[in-house]
């Protein structure tokens, strides 16, 4: 009986222990991520000065910026390896920030008949 | 990929099984996205309203800001290395990386102070134009975040020197690390949106 109860307690603890165990990358991975981030930053600055790429500058810059963002959040902040709840909390903030952006944008573009509002 | 396991042993947990300090930190970072989201939106809407003052194209020094961005990116590396060091019980290594992070942060802030001074000398102030207001508010708030981060890093170094920051306290380094990396990702966006994307 007591053995069964003890086994049950172990089973109940198992998910928590699983949550506690975070598999974070090692220093070598962190250095590689930093190298990739440096190369992307150099590419961002380089394409800024290439006139023939001016038409594609904005999509390239946004893509590079997104890759850097994901690498830092995923590896340095360990969001790739931690509980999905942290990811949900952070993404909620990002989505709300995007909503704020579109509301402000809409205020400026559709509120043209109210110059006092949009300056 | 090299990996190692670390356990948050001896910390408080919520009913979700997750550390409540970490849940609170991620909630704070999610809410801070709103602050910077609002200020980046404002900058994008006002960046062409330069009145009689200088335009972004006239005033930005891209090579200089690129170096600042590189410095802040590298501070994220030193921060995560400080965390890795304390998690494996290397207190001295952790102190060295924390000091390196604080030093890189101070270098970034020094660069920002120089940039602001130059802009003011060239005629761009908070009151010159809507562009000036939005620029100084956004980058100034980011600089304030970096400054708070530097103070927290130096506090960690002080705790470590007094023997109050050991392997079992690695969560403190992890939390301040999360804040520091957040400041870095905000700058990744600011560098692209404010400095590199052309106005026209």
Three-state DSSP state, B164: coil
End-to-end CA distance of chain B: 43
The encoded tokens of residue B77 equal 């590396």
ipTM of this complex prediction, to 2 decimal places: 0.89
Full-model pTM: 0.86
- Alpha carbons B5 and A117: distance in angstroms, whole number: 54
For residue range A81-95, what is the model confidence (pLDDT) as tens digits? Answer: 988 999 999 999 999
- Alpha carbons B8 and A34: distance in angstroms, whole number: 26
Give the start-to-end residue ranges of the domains of chain B: 20-196
Q: Which is more confident, B8 or B187?
A: B187
Provide the chain B residues 109-148 that lie in CB contact (below 8 A) with chain A: 130
Per-residue pLDDT band for B200 (boundaries 50, 70, 90) equals: low
The answer on pLDDT for B40 being more than 50 is yes
Question: From residue B146, how far is each of A72, A73, B35, B104, B139 by CA, in Å?
Answer: 16, 17, 15, 10, 10
Per-residue pLDDT band for B74 (boundaries 50, 70, 90) equals: very high
Using the Cβ of B51 and the Cβ atoms of chain A, whether some distance falls under 8 Å is answered with no
Domain B20-196 class, CATH top level: mainly alpha
Q: B115 phi and psi, to 5 degrees?
A: -65, -45
Whole-number average pLDDT of chain B: 91
Contacts of B47 in chain A (CB under 8 A): none
Q: What's the confidence (pLDDT) of residue A16?
A: 41
The answer on pLDDT for B7 being more than 60 is no
- Inter-chain residue contact A72 with B87, CB threshold 8 Å: no
Q: Which residues contact A36 (CB under 8 A, 6 or more apart)?
A: A71
Q: What's the confidence (pLDDT) of residue B13?
A: 63
B5, A68 in Cβ contact below 8 A? no
For residue range B100-138, what is the model confidence (pLDDT) as tens digits? Answer: 999 999 999 999 999 999 999 999 999 999 999 999 999
Q: What's the confidence (pLDDT) of residue A22?
A: 54
Among A110-114, B24-28, B44-48, the range with the most confident prediction by mean pLDDT is B24-28
- What residues does A85 pair with on adjacent strands? none
Helices B62-87, B91-121: crossing angle, 10 deg rounding = 160
Using the Cβ of B84 and the Cβ atoms of chain A, whether some distance falls under 8 Å is answered with yes
Q: What's the confidence (pLDDT) of residue A15?
A: 43
Provide the chain B residues 145-184 that lie in CB contact (below 8 A) with chain A: 177-178, 181-182, 184
- Inter-chain residue contact A77 with B178, CB threshold 8 Å: yes
B33, A94 in Cβ contact below 8 A? yes
Render each residue's pLDDT in chain A as its tens digit; 119 residues.
Answer: 344 444 444 444 434 434 444 578 899 999 999 999 999 999 999 999 998 888 899 999 999 999 999 999 999 999 999 889 999 999 999 999 999 888 888 887 776 655 555 54
The answer on pLDDT for B144 being more than 70 is yes
Among B1-5, B38-42, B158-162, the range with the most confident prediction by mean pLDDT is B158-162
DSSP string, B43-87: HHHHTT--TTS--HHHH--HHHHHHHHHHHHHHHHHHHHHHHHHH
For residue B144, the distance in angstroms to the closest alpha carbon of chain A comes to 20
DSSP string, B4-46: EEEE-TT--B-TTSSBHHHHHHHHHHHHHHHHHHHHHHHHHHH
Q: What's the confidence (pLDDT) of residue B188?
A: 97
- Inter-chain residue contact B77 with A41, CB threshold 8 Å: no
């Amino acid at each position: 009986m007591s053995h069964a109860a003890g086994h049950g307690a172990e089973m109940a603890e198992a998910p928590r222990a699983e949550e506690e165990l975070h598999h974070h990358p090692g220093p070598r991975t962190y250095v590689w991520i930093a190298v990739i981030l440096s190369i992307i930053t150099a590419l961002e600055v380089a394409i800024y000065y290439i006139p023939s790429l001016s038409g594609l500058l904005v999509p390239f810059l946004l893509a590079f910026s997104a890759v850097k963002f994901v690498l830092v959040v995923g590896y340095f902040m360990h969001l790739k390896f931690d509980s999905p709840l942290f990811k949900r909390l952070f993404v909620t903030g990002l989505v709300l920030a995007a909503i704020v952006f579109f509301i402000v944008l809409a205020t400026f573009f559709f509120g043209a008949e109210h110059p006092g509002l949009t300056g | 990929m090299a990996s190692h396991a670390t356990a948050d042993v001896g910390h408080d947990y919520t009913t979700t099984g997750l550390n409540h300090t970490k849940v609170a930190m991620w909630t704070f970072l999610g809410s801070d996205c709103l602050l910077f989201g609002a200020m980046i939106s404002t900058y994008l809407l006002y960046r062409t309203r330069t009145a009689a003052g200088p335009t972004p194209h006239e005033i930005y020094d891209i090579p200089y800001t690129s170096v600042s961005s590189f410095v802040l990116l590298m501070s994220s590396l030193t921060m995560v290395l400080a965390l890795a060091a304390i998690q494996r019980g290397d207190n001295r290594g952790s102190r060295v990386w924390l000091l390196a992070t604080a030093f890189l942060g101070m270098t970034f802030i020094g660069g920002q102070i120089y940039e602001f001074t130059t802009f003011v000398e060239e005629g761009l102030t908070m009151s010159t134009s809507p562009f000036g207001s939005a620029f100084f508010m956004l980058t100034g708030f980011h600089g304030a975040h970096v400054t708070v981060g530097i103070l927290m890093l130096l506090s960690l170094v002080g705790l470590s020197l007094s023997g109050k920051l050991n392997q079992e306290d690695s969560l403190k380094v992890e939390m301040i690390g999360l804040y520091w990396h957040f400041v870095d990702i905000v700058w990744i966006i600011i560098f692209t949106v404010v400095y590199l994307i052309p106005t026209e």
